[in-house]
A and B are shown apart, each in its own frame.
Chain A
Amino acid sequence: MGMKWEGKGFMESLPRIYAIYTGGFLGFFALMAFFESLGMGAKWIGILFVLFTLVVYAFIGVLSRTTAVDAYYVAGRSVPPVFNGMATAADWMSGASFVAMAGGIFMSGHPYMAFIVGWTGGYILIATLMAPYLRKFGCYTVPDFIGTRYGGKLTRFCAVVVLVVASFTYVTAQITATGTIAARAFQIPFEIGVWLGLFGILVCSMLGGMRAVTWTQVAQYIVLIIAYLIPIFWMSIAQGFGFLPHLSYGSAVQRIMELEPLIGVGTQPTDTVAGLKALTTLHATPPEGALASWKFVTLVFCMMVGTASLPHILMRYFTTPSVRDARNSVAWSLFFIFLLYFSAPALATFSKLQMIDPNLATSIIGASIDQVMSLEWIQKWSEIGLLAIKDSNADGILQVNEFFLNPDIIVLATPEMAGLPYVISGLVAAGGMAAAMSTADGLLLAMANTLSHDLYYKILDPKAEVKKRLMTSRILLLIIGAGGAAVASLKLTGILGAVAWAFCFAMSGLFVPLVLGVWWKRANRAGALAGMIVGLGTGWWYLLAVRNPEAWYGLAQPWIGLDDLRFGVVGVTASAIAMVVVTLLTEAPSEEIQRMVDDVRVPHGDTIIPSKA
């Protein structure tokens, strides 16, 4: 008996299906905990967790395969808002959010919180400026909107280029993350882990396109949010902050602020360990001065505007049944994302407090080095070079500036520090894998869809049959995925750097043409072309210039603190100026285009692009 993947009956049974799935996952968790109590080793628990979830995703991916255009590109435009919200949240929260965010807050303090504010506030821009209008437009891909609104193959082509540059930058980071986790869980070399991760990703997206990705992403969201929240609740209860850590961890923040001067946070370490850092930044106190505030708000700005320009996120809102649902779906996405992001600072706080508070049994700062070195988690992470202890002043006591670690391990190591059972570590590994895989899926699909729909079908061969187009998309998925894995195995940049760059690329090239396409009737083709080309070009030049101050790009130092994480500010400004100036210098768009914009602005009626392929 085949399952129906659309229609009212299926949508109505969704809550039940996913409730059973969630129950099943919790049951699996309980089973693993039981096995652990029988004496099963940490290694096997990790392997079983990752393997079990991979098999489930692949199962959903294979079951929901499709050969229909609407199902392949936009999941049949039938995904209910709440479920689309979960799928978007999984699509959105990458390996970086899951694995690196709490560690970043732990290590870098208040300045790092800009990511949290930026990665949530961007959804206000999506809901108010973009999603409902793009849904009304009825496009299949983001360049589809640019190409139809402004007209012309070159405009469409430029949008495809921006999309591919931004998404490819992003996807290498995600494949890196899946590779890292797979390598650790299965104890295989990183290079093999990367290809194994890619295989899992492709199984989900190859056969069923957007429809398969949607239903796997919902499943992945459930795994990742459970995996993120359980350790936080556990630690909160263990440290005496009660069952509602989010309401009560303020006193933990204050306790850290009291302890910081006592243990000397801020004293620079005298030793250095390559790739690792000692904690020198205050937890909740922002640095002084206008430049620090400026750096905070510019990072927030880049992450927000970048969010609103990322094609793999925008395309999720093409899958809802109506314009109103698209809007509601943005709100639900933000809610589901919020659940994780407002937990990250709590995790960082508890994790830090249990390390530094002398009243807690888990504390290591101020303890004797011999005693600390005998802890199992310290040994385990030191062995693989992600943690190091140097007794710089040779007093036999561990000071805060003698403890070095890679911030990325905080989320993965916190359960072990807190002395939680291994089953939690296995759960966290499965959650990290889900986060990275779901984002990689969305990104690969965004690229493959735009190349097959916009480049191949709309530009190169407008007569191509449906079957040929879907086949092209699948082949492209393989090629881009392999390309991403090949680049990932070179380990060029860190996960976070690559993610921030992707945001800046997307905002430099796409934000202004997308917004003005709806909000400024006068905006025309020449202006959009100028906006995309000048924006991406300037952003790219600035990135290269800040990264290589000695080279010929002609920039000795960054402008007012705008470093490589913030180059989008320069790109988007250039893009806006170029688009407005060129539009005003050239003719207004035709009557027909202006009427099209009028139609986009009201929810009712047919989509602009007819829904028949």
Chain B
Amino acid sequence: MRELSAADRAEHWRQTRNLTILHLTVWFIFAYVVHWFALPLNSIDFFGWPLGYYFSAQGSLIVFVVQLFVFNRQQHAIDVKFGVDERE
């Protein structure tokens, strides 16, 4: 197994951290921001749903699920790039 250089290690962590921050930003928007404005959003009709209600009943949840699968792919890609993924 190749030993990871200090520079690579730092870069791997920097990219991991940035990816995490990106996903936490998306999370923050759908976890808090849209619900803060639920009342005004409710006047928008989204396929029959009032939008503010829709976000709390389905919208945010769907974003979270999709987001996690995407995050896993991206994080794995970073791990592979630096050769620190787990191999059999």
Contacts and interface: CB of A to CB of B under 8 A. Distances in A.
Do these two chains interact? Answer: yes
B76 A324 contact: yes
B35 A124 contact: no
Given A128-B24, A293-B36, A297-B36, A123 B58 contact: no
Contacts of B37: 293
Interface in A252-300: 253-254, 257, 284-286, 288, 293, 296-297, 300
Interface band, chain A: 35 or more
Interface string A317-353: 0000011100110110011001001100110000000
Contact of B48 (A251, A301, A605): A251
A142 to B, nearest CB: 21
B72 A603 contact: no
Contact of B60 (A117, A285, A323, A324): A117
Interface residues of B, number: 49
B65 A253 contact: no
Contacts of A502: none
A604 interface: yes
A184 interface: no
A345 B49 CA distance: 12
A602 interface: yes
Contact of B4 (A254, A293, A602): A602
A285 B30 CA distance: 18
Could you tell me the dominant secondary structure of chain B's interface residues?
helix
Contacts of B1: 604-605
A297 B32 contact: yes
A121 B31 CA distance: 7
B27 A284 contact: no
A601 interface: yes
B68 A330 contact: yes
Interface string B45-80: 011111011101110111011011101100110010
A110 interface: yes
B25 to A, nearest CB: 11
A416 B37 CA distance: 37
A296 B31 CA distance: 10
A118 to B, nearest CB: 8
Contacts of A254: 48-50
Given A598-B9, A604-B1, A110 B56 contact: yes
A113 B71 contact: no
A110 B53 contact: yes
Given A253-B49, A253-B53, A286 B38 contact: yes
Given A123-B68, A293-B36, A603 B79 contact: yes
Given A322-B86, A323-B86, A335-B65, A250 B48 contact: yes
A124 B58 contact: no
B13 A601 contact: yes
B23 A128 contact: yes
A78 interface: no
Given A113-B56, A120-B60, A286 B9 contact: no
Contacts of B61: 116-117, 120, 338, 341-342
B36 A602 contact: no
A284 B43 CA distance: 11
Contacts of A116: 56-57, 61
Nearest to B58: A342
Contacts of A341: 61
A529 interface: no
A68 interface: no
Residue from A331, A338, A605 whose CB has the most chain B CB atoms within 10 Å: A331
Contacts of B13: 601
Residue from B49, B54, B61, B76 whose CB has the most chain A CB atoms within 10 Å: B61
A304 interface: yes
Contacts of B52: 110, 284, 286
A605 B9 CA distance: 14
A242 B74 CA distance: 38
Contacts of A604: 1, 79, 83-87
A128 B20 contact: yes
Contact of A284 (B12, B42, B79, B86): B42
B54 to A, nearest CB: 7
A117 B84 contact: no
Contacts of B60: 117, 120-121
B31 A117 contact: yes
A330 B71 CA distance: 11
Interface of B: 1, 4, 9, 12-13, 16, 20, 23-24, 27, 30-32, 35-39, 42, 46-50, 52-54, 56-58, 60-62, 64-65, 67-69, 71-72, 75-76, 79, 82-87
15 contacts: A113-B53, A121-B30, A121-B31, A250-B47, A253-B49, A254-B48, A285-B39, A285-B50, A293-B35, A293-B36, A293-B39, A338-B65, A342-B61, A603-B85, A604-B87
Nearest 3 CB-CB pairs, A to B?
A250-B48, A250-B49, A113-B56
Given A110-B56, A117-B61, A601-B9, 14 more contacts: A113-B56, A114-B56, A120-B64, A124-B27, A128-B24, A129-B20, A253-B50, A284-B52, A285-B50, A293-B38, A297-B31, A327-B71, A604-B79, A604-B85
